[in-house]
Amino acid sequence: MDEFELIDQIFHRPEESTPQVALGIGDDGAVLNVTVGKQSVVVMDTLVAGVHFLDSQPPDSIGHRALAVNLSDIAAMGSVPRWATLSLTLPEVNGDWLNGFADGFFDLAHRHEVALVGGDTTAGPLAVSVTVGGEVEPEGALRRAGARPGDFVYLSGPIGGAAAALSSTEAYGDPDLKRALCWPQPRTALGMALGSIAHSAIDISDGLLADLGHILKASGNLGAKIEADKLPLFEQAVALLGYPGALELALGGGDDYELCFTAPEKRHQEILATGHRLDQDLFWIGRITEHGGCSVHGNGISLDTVSPGYQHVWPG
């Protein structure tokens, strides 16, 4: 068996044929059936070895993560994921590594009913590029723009764990922090449910302040008042780094892949009920304000950011 056949065999799995896939892997392109009356959503993200993942990371976690970060974008759009294409750039063809990568990729794909329909394998420095397509009701996509003054701000889970895992060997050794880094769980069910409730949404990839900043900017240079004591942190991050250190990573660390969304105050109970129904933790963390900038207060902390982006230097 040559390299192409090996790669073909590993990624061309029979179960990839769903009713939506008219023609899957193996031709110049895939052909997909479109659901009548829907809009389509497309997202694309690339992970590069040494930048977005560690060379030493288990290959199944790399396969998982490459798809997860894209499904997280799909979730932030309030979309139902349908298909994926995968471009793998490999320094060498290693069957064990590829099988591990594929296991991680397909386990997540199957859980989210996403069919791998095509892609590309090339020689070069290790990198993974994934495109995911989904569907939404017309005008039903969740956008960054749409937050309004008075909106409540929510998070779908604790943040700062992935960044904490990268901060030391000891932290990486903690199962919960390592899981946050290597096995992020895209919140697709929550995203779909929020389509008709939330005003705006984004997934946290660059850190809460930066990503909430994108919502504030896209929504017309609004502000936000975040309650520090409401921010969900990883206990282990606080234990290892202290509260200020864990808070800094929660605000600016990134790689969390939790959803940050805003919704009108009057829908608060409905949102809590949605989280309960989906068995999905939800955290109220603050409010949208009329004026620019994002501030974080409480627990003896007072952090005012002038611009709605990530302020890297922690004051005091």
Among 8, 13, 17, 52, binds its own copies (CB under 8 A): 52
* Distance separating alpha carbons of residues 69 and 71, to the nearest angstrom: 6
In this structure, what are the phi and psi dihedrals at residue 56, rounded to the nearest 5 degrees?
Answer: -80, -5
C-beta closer to its own copies: residue 129 or 305: 129
Q: Could you say whether residue 6 binds its own copies (CB under 8 A)?
A: no
Question: At what angle are helices 208-218 and 235-252 packed, to 10 degrees?
Answer: 40
Instruction: Kindly list the strands in the beta sheet with 301-305, ordered across the sheet, starting from the edge strand earlier in the chain.
Output: 200-203, 259-263, 152-155, 283-289, 223-227, 293-298, 301-305
In whole angstroms, the minimum distance from the beta carbon of 79 to its own copies comes to 7
Cβ 58 to its own copies shortest distance, Å: 21
- Strand pairing of 283-289 and 152-155? antiparallel
The C-alpha R_g of the chain, in whole angstroms, comes to 20
What minimum distance in Å lies between the beta carbon of 238 and its own copies? 29
Per-residue interface string for the shown chain with its own copies, residues 19-38, x marking contact by CB under 8 A: ---xx--xxxxxxxxx-x-x
Convert residues 246-285 into a mask of x (bound to its own copies by CB under 8 A) and - (unbound): ----------------------------------------
Residue 307 binds its own copies, judged by CB under 8 A: no
User: Of 41-49, 104-112, 174-182, 249-257, which part binds its own copies (CB under 8 A)?
Assistant: 41-49
Task: State which of residues 56, 122, 169, 269 lies at the interface with its own copies (CB under 8 A).
Answer: 122
Q: Does 166 bind its own copies (CB under 8 A)?
A: no
Q: Does 125 bind its own copies (CB under 8 A)?
A: yes
Please list every residue from 53 through 92 that binds its own copies, using CB under 8 A: 73-74, 76-77, 79, 83, 85-87, 89
Name the strand (E) or helix (H) holding 79.
Answer: none
Say whether residue 157 binds its own copies (CB under 8 A): no
- Pull the structure tokens for residue 69: 């970060």
In 180-255, where do the E strands start and end?
Answer: 200-203, 223-227
CA nearest 115: which of 250, 22, 214? 22
Q: With CB under 8 A as the contact rule, which of the stretches 6-14, 48-56, 155-163, 171-179 interacts with its own copies?
A: 48-56
Nearer to its own copies, 6 or 49 (CB): 49
φ, ψ (nearest 5 deg) of residue 302: -140, 105
| Apex 133 CA angle, 117 and 215, nearest 5 | 155
For its own copies, the binding residue among 25, 43, 115, 180 (CB under 8 A) is 43
In the bound state with its own copies, the residue whose beta carbon lies nearer, of 101 and 234, is 101
* Structure-token pair, residue 223: 């502000």
Q: How far is CA 307 from CA 181, 218, 285, 286, in A?
A: 28, 13, 19, 18
Q: Specify the pairing of strand 223-227 against strand 293-298.
A: parallel
Q: Does 45 bind its own copies (CB under 8 A)?
A: yes
- Interface residues toward its own copies, by CB under 8 A: 22-23, 26-34, 36, 38-52, 73-74, 76-77, 79, 83, 85-87, 89, 117-120, 122-125, 127, 129, 131, 133-134, 136, 141, 143-145, 201-203, 218
